[in-house]
Chains A and B, each alone.
Chain A
């Protein structure tokens, strides 16, 4: 069947991308002017300690052999230990990755929730003050630097209004006195499964400002893509036909025109998610969010290469999987997408 063949081809392509990135990461590690053995050997190592580290890290084996070993390790989720902390990277990721994914998913959700209705309304009321307001908002949200927007949000909602926490992922008393049992690592989900509404609300409150910061740019893009798509769709003859059949304006707008815009909406999901994963580095630092972004930025500063490699691969994997899901969804919701 067409769909099966299409799916298999997409999966194959995704695997290809992941292997490619693995190779790139490995190559980059070889050309970076820093000596992993020296790092691994700790502060102020002696020549002897460095030589020992070279053996431990197996740095003298031929390159192809080392790549195969590297790729196999990555493939099996054995990311090794951090040069810096000597902790198992897979254990660190187990905590930090869900935190980042939670932030990325929630900000993507916010971006769609804000951007798509704004785009629909702007298109339906094209040229009105609502449309202009929306355009202005989208330009602002796209153009405003992340750190500035983050500070603005902190200032207004945390300092002045005092309704949302300044930073962190959970309040002190929540995380220390009565910690949430670790299940998925997504606080919202873990709080629900543990049946703790107070923790859920606390986690949500902490999530809003960083997620809004990350959502601003994709929401602006979502608004403009949706607006452009809807203007084109609303000029279509099937819309005239629907009006001639006496259908109500809201039904035409949301029931008939909007389903034609799933393409752009799905595009925005992919874009927003990718933006959130990379944008997380800065936002996690500003909001003291204990996620992958903060983890990896610390690793970059200390040239902790295994951590950088592991994080790069994990982010690639998340992104590739997200795109795979989006592509497959596209074929399911839009019957016209040719399965080629």
Chain B
């Protein structure tokens, strides 16, 4: 069953240099209990999609969509009401996401206080239980400490515990492992997967790292310049990519390059978000682009399960 249903989402932010199209047109369908990867280069609008889901786009931003529904509730009108109740955020940098001058206990308690009518004693017990569930034992001691006294991995676990404390069933994890070293990042991913299984959560996993998609995602959507260019099962995206941009991303992975050979980095840059795109957004960087790619927007191809936007029937090289 579709839990999150977004079609044609765009976010436009006014700026002195003209309107910034942070998100141009996104389709995103996520089923309940799914971990859905959202992958793309820096600046392609990943974080802004998350902010639109939370109703936290910058002041003056215009959010528009043909369909914008979470659990059949219209997000266009109810995002603020669902924020921190059904939908919670785990952000990229846990050190920045925690308040530096408040203890962990106080920050957990504030969330619980907002979302329940429990008494102080029960809230403390609930906080301890949530911290334990995220792999943080000895909660009593931990709750007296300040964020800077914890390691990055512990901080991210606290942030996850806070998200759980809201009672939300949909988590937006915005690059949750980028600030962590590889082994700690892997532990946090494993924790998230366990929580999804145990608690029936649904996760939008924002990342720029194909390894994260490979490690935890059921399905994934590839983003390019604010457009969702390919969506499908994670395995298909990783092994049978159909959009030339997806295959370029995969080719850029370190272990895809044979020993001693230069990394296949993607040449060029994403079009500026102030620019209007008339044809295919990836045309200028695409290794297989032809004359047809110019002018009209590319059509959707493939099936409901796995589809992509490309002018070329044969797709990725």
Taking a contact as CB atoms under 8 Å apart, the answer to whether B114 and A243 are in contact is no
Closest approach, in angstroms, between the C-beta of A66 and any C-beta of chain B? 51
Give a binary string over A250-265; 1 marks a CB under 8 Å from any B CB, 0 the rest. 0100011001101000
Within 8 Å CB of A333, what residues of B?
101
Q: In the bound complex, do residue B166 and residue A246 qualify as a contact, i.e. CB atoms below 8 Å apart? A: yes
Q: Which residues of B contact A248 (CB under 8 A)?
A: 114
When distances are taken between beta carbons in the complex, the residues of chain A under 8 Å from B97 are 237-238, 240-241
Tell me the bound Cα distance from A245 to B111 in angstroms: 7
B100 touches A260 (CB 8 A): yes
Residues of chain B within 8 A (CB-CB) of A242 are 99, 110
Per-residue CB contact flags for chain A residues 267-281 toward chain B (1 = under 8 Å, else 0) read 000000000000000
Beyond A240-B56, A244-B83, A246-B83, is A259–B159 a contact (Cβ under 8 Å)? no
A334 to B100, CA, bound (A): 8
Which chain A residues in 208-257 approach chain B with CB under 8 Å?
236-238, 240-248, 251, 255-256
Write out the residue numbers on chain B whose beta carbons fall within 8 Å of the beta carbon of A245. Answer: 84, 88-89, 110-111, 114, 162-163, 165-166
A238→B96 CA distance, assembly (Å): 6
B98 within 8 A of A: yes
Contact between B83 and A336, CB atoms less than 8 A apart: no
Per the bound structure, the CA–CA distance linking A244 and B98 in Å amounts to 12
Q: Which of A236, A237, A259 contacts B102 (CB 8 A)?
A: A259
Using Cβ atoms and an 8 Å threshold, which residues of chain A touch B163?
A: 245
- A236–B166 touching, CB < 8 Å: no
Known: A243-B56, A251-B114. Contact between A238 and B84, CB under 8 A? no
Is A335 engaged at the interface, CB distance under 8 Å to the other chain?
yes
Size of the chain A interface, CB-CB below 8 angstroms: 22
- Which residues on the A side are within 8 Å of B110 (C-beta)? 242, 245, 247, 251, 255-256
| Residues of B with C-beta under 8 A to A255 | 110
Name the distance in Å between A229's Cβ and chain B's nearest Cβ: 12
Partner of B101, one of A240, A244, A246, A262: A262
Smallest CB separation, A268 vs chain B (Å): 17
Which residue of the partner chain B has the closest CB to A127?
B59
CB pair B85–A336 under 8 Å, yes or no, is no
Report whether A238 and B162 are in contact in the complex, using a CB–CB cutoff of 8 Å: no
Q: Is B54 an interface residue (CB 8 A)?
A: yes
**Total number of residue pairs linking A and B with CB closer than 8 Å:** 79
- Whether A241 lies near B101 (C-beta < 8 A) is no
Shortest distance between the CB of A24 and any CB in chain B (Å): 39
CB distance from B179 to the nearest CB of A (A): 12
- Taking a contact as CB atoms closer than 8 A, the residue among B54, B96, B100 that contacts A244 in the complex is B54
Given contacts A240-B56, A241-B159, A336-B148, contact A247 B111 (CB under 8 A): yes
Q: Is the CB of A246 within 8 A of B96?
A: no
Q: Which residues of B contact A240 (CB under 8 A)?
A: 56, 91, 97
Given known contacts A262-B101, A336-B148, A244 and B88 CB-to-CB distance under 8 angstroms:
yes
B54, B101, B162 pick with most chain A CB within 10 angstroms: B101
Q: Is B93 an interface residue (CB 8 A)?
A: yes
A256 to B111, CA, bound (A): 12
User: Is the Cβ of B146 less than 8 Å from the Cβ of A335?
Assistant: yes
* CB-defined contacts of B165 to chain A, threshold 8 Å: 245
Across the interface, do B100 and A246 meet the contact criterion of CB distance under 8 Å? no
**Residues from chain B with Cβ under 8 Å of A335 in the complex:** 100-101, 146, 148-149
Is the CB of B66 closer than 8 A to any CB of chain A? no
Say yes or no: A238-B88 contact (C-beta < 8 A), given A245-B163, A248-B114: no
When the two chains form their complex, are residues A241 and B111 in contact, meaning their CB atoms are under 8 A apart?
A: no
Q: Tell whether, in the assembled complex, residue B114 and residue A238 are in contact, meaning their CB atoms are under 8 Å apart.
A: no
Is the CB–CB distance between B101 and A247 below 8 Å? no
* B115 interface residue per 8 A CB criterion: yes
Contact in complex: A241, B115 (CB < 8 Å)? no
Bound CA span A256–B106, Å: 10
B101 near A237 (CB under 8 angstroms)? Answer: no
Contact residue among A244, A256, A334, A336 (Cβ-Cβ distance under 8 Å from B56): A244
Q: How far is the CA of A64 from the CA of B85 in the complex (A)?
A: 75
Where the two chains meet, the residues of B that have a C-beta atom closer than 8 Å to any C-beta of A are 54, 56, 83-85, 88-89, 91, 93, 96-102, 110-111, 114-115, 146, 148-149, 159, 162-163, 165-166
Q: What are 28 pairs between A and B in contact, CB < 8 Å?
A: A237-B91, A237-B93, A238-B99, A238-B100, A243-B54, A243-B84, A244-B83, A244-B84, A244-B88, A244-B91, A245-B111, A245-B165, A245-B166, A246-B85, A246-B111, A246-B166, A247-B111, A248-B114, A251-B110, A255-B110, A256-B110, A259-B101, A259-B102, A260-B101, A334-B101, A335-B149, A336-B100, A336-B146
Can you add 13 more A-B contacts, CB < 8 Å, to A243-B83, A244-B91, A336-B100? A236-B96, A237-B97, A238-B97, A241-B97, A241-B98, A242-B99, A243-B54, A245-B84, A246-B84, A246-B114, A333-B101, A335-B101, A335-B149
Q: Which residues of A contact B (CB under 8 A)?
A: 236-238, 240-248, 251, 255-256, 259-260, 262, 333-336
